[in-house]
A and B are shown apart, each in its own frame.
Chain A
Amino acid sequence: MPAEQLLLQGNEACAEGAIAAGARFFAGYPITPSTEIAEVLSRRLPEVGGHFMQMEDEIASMAAVIGASLAGTKALTATSGPGFSLMQENIGYASMAQVPCVVINVMRGGPSTGLPTDPAQGDVMQARWGTHGEHSVIALAPNSVLECYTLTVEAFNLSEQYRTPVIVLSDALIGHMREAVTLPAADEMRVAQRGEPFCEPEEYDTTASTVDRIIPAPPLGSRYKVHATGLVYDRRHWGRPDTSDPGVAQDLGDYLREKIYHHRDSIVRVEAVEMDDAEVAIFAYGSVSRSARAVVRWARAQGVPLGMIRPLTLWPFPTEAVELMADKVRAVIVPEMNIKQMSWEVRAAVAGRAEVVDYGRVDGRLITPNEIRALVRHEFPLHGWEE
């Protein structure tokens, strides 16, 4: 007998996933459609010995999350478009100072106040490039309530392992819908713990992380001296600012990128649906991928070789999976609730080997199966479709 099914909201699942991942600190400022994450954690965190803080704005929220993480606690915040914009500078600080933390962005229509209660996918590029300067980031895109839970756990694991902010890109539809789910038992989930640095305190200052051996962040107040700075620092002398040596800056920039990209194969997760003999593929993520999957089933029931590539990891971009897809199919349909944001990345990876068909919608409505069906019909003009 499996564990009991629960009727859980996507935002509630994110909150419970954070608790399961060991997060014990949340700082945030309420904003639709993310507010339930804060609401649930304001009740749940004190129950498990954690802390919840409502801050004066999103800038302070992100700063408090970084502070909590530097003190040794797994920490997160949750927000939506306008708040995500305000957090960008401090997300860059977390990238630079290599502070593990998780930001859940429940995407809504934008820019600015936009469509506060309607879903969008307009922040996928902001998640990658929203903060200034060269940096790397990890971003995950759930397409179900269960994935709101499991990918939040995954986000914490990746943030600890790679000492980086990790963004969970949910949307207003996924965040507010409820699904019957059976949550995995605690022993079925891998939860990464923040380790001790691999070296003694006196060696810490001179022991450099490498891409193969990222030294965990020691908590403030421990035996280790910690200096977290937003300035460029010498990677071989932790936290020592050095803005005069171009070589130091280049080394740090390369390292901050490569510590993620070097591990792309183990970070990136992609779901392939009916791709073995696919002639045309849909590239879809988040809530739109649910409509796309329905269309794949519909097409296959009629003997039409349609498949789907669904990245659970948006950043780093699943370049290899798209390259493999491009060798198989003659066309890739990219429906997204923005205008061509990820399809440019798809185009770059496809590199002319297949046609790329964009389909964008920014009116706060989910792209429906019927809309995608019309695109698929166009790619199989000779097929006799059943209505």
Chain B
Amino acid sequence: MVAVKGQGEEKAAAPVEVRFSGSGGQGILLAAAVVAEAATALGKHVVATQSYGPAARGGASKAEVIVSGQPIDSLEVESPAITLCLSQEAFNVYAADTRPGGLLVYDAGLVTPGASLCDRDLCAIPFTHETTARLKRAVVANIVAVGALIELSGLLPAEAVEAAVVARIPERFRQLNIEAYRLGRELAGMVGGGDRASWDRRSPLSARG
């Protein structure tokens, strides 16, 4: 486990910027909303913004969440500590903004990363492929990605985010989304294998100093 968990409150207090990106229709806004609502329920300071307009209907779209233990000044996310990319176009536009040492999680089935991002923690998980194979419903790949992102970053307690999934999703889709969230955590556990120790050293939150 990297990042906030186990690192004490003083680390949790600094603002952490998270960017969710993908194509319109992939559920980027919902993914960000779940994380923002979990952080809100935990009593954190939270600012959540989103792209709006033509970009929300195809093209690269994004939503950003800032989570902090102290009041948040700037609304502008310039170099996020954590980036999720669910499409090639979103990766092309947004991945490089991830701060050096930051965590960059992307859909390995949909994205071919460029070579210039070697100073970020690249984490490739075939979200859409695995979601379709395991849950038969590609539509919840966004929540699978949330599960993986939370597991890999330790941004928030995993149970709190699952509670936000439960609170946010209407009853008839709730169980599917809970399974999706847990699948994401499971997939994250399969990443990196024996190299997890290097993850800890280079985690985005410890790199903030």
Which residues of A are in contact with B by a Cβ distance under 8 Å?
Answer: 5-7, 32-33, 116-118, 172-173, 176-180, 287, 290-291, 293-294, 297, 366, 368-370
Contacts and interface: CB of A to CB of B under 8 A. Distances in A.
Ranked 10 nearest A-B pairs via Cβ: A117-B53, A294-B73, A180-B46, A294-B74, A178-B48, A180-B40, A7-B40, A293-B73, A177-B49, A368-B76
A188 to B, nearest CB: 19
Contact of A297 (B36, B45, B73): B73
A290 B45 contact: no
B41 interface: yes
Interface string B12-56: 000000000000000000000100110111011111111011000
Nearest to B41: A5
Most chain A CB within 10 A, of B33, B41, B44, B53, is at B53
Contacts of B50: 176
Contacts of B45: 179-180
| Chain A binding surface, main DSSP class | mixed
B53 A7 contact: no
Given A178-B47, A179-B45, A179-B47, 14 more contacts: A5-B40, A6-B40, A7-B46, A32-B52, A173-B49, A173-B75, A177-B47, A178-B48, A179-B46, A179-B48, A180-B46, A294-B73, A368-B74, A369-B78
Interface in B46-85: 46-50, 52-53, 72-76, 78
A290 B37 contact: no
A346 to B, nearest CB: 22
A178 B46 contact: yes
A369 B73 CA distance: 10
Nearest to B65: A178
Contacts of A118: 53
Contacts of A6: 40
Contacts of A290: 73-75
Interface residues of B, number: 22
16 contacts: A5-B41, A7-B46, A172-B52, A173-B49, A176-B50, A176-B52, A177-B47, A178-B33, A178-B47, A178-B48, A180-B40, A180-B43, A290-B73, A291-B74, A369-B73, A369-B76
B53 to A, nearest CB: 3
B179 to A, nearest CB: 24
A7 B36 contact: yes
Given A33-B52, A178-B46, A294-B73, A368 B41 contact: no
B48 A177 contact: yes
A124 B40 CA distance: 33
Contacts of A33: 52
Contacts of A291: 73-76
A5 B43 contact: yes
Contacts of B40: 5-7, 180
A117 B53 CA distance: 6
A88 B52 CA distance: 28
A293 B75 CA distance: 11
Contacts of A297: 73
A8 to B, nearest CB: 9
B52 A369 contact: no
Contacts of A179: 45-48, 72
A168 B74 CA distance: 21
A308 B39 CA distance: 30
A291 B72 CA distance: 10
A179 B75 CA distance: 10
B33 to A, nearest CB: 8
A184 B31 CA distance: 29
B11 to A, nearest CB: 18
A248 B26 CA distance: 65
A254 to B, nearest CB: 42
A111 B126 CA distance: 45
Contacts of B41: 5
Nearest to B47: A179
A33 B47 CA distance: 18
Contacts of B48: 7, 177-179
Identify which of A7, A180, A366 gathers the most chain B CB atoms within 10 Å of its CB.
Answer: A180
B75 A177 contact: yes
B53 A116 contact: yes
Contact of A366 (B36, B39, B44, B75): B75
A7 to B, nearest CB: 4
A359 to B, nearest CB: 15
A179 B44 CA distance: 10
A176 to B, nearest CB: 6
B52 A117 contact: yes
A370 B53 CA distance: 26
Contact of B76 (A172, A180, A366): A366
B134 to A, nearest CB: 30
Nearest to A368: B76
B198 to A, nearest CB: 26
A370 B76 CA distance: 10
A28 to B, nearest CB: 19
A297 B74 CA distance: 11
A86 to B, nearest CB: 22
A185 B75 CA distance: 26
Contacts of B37: 7
Contacts of A116: 53
B78 A370 contact: yes
Contacts of A180: 36, 39-40, 43-46
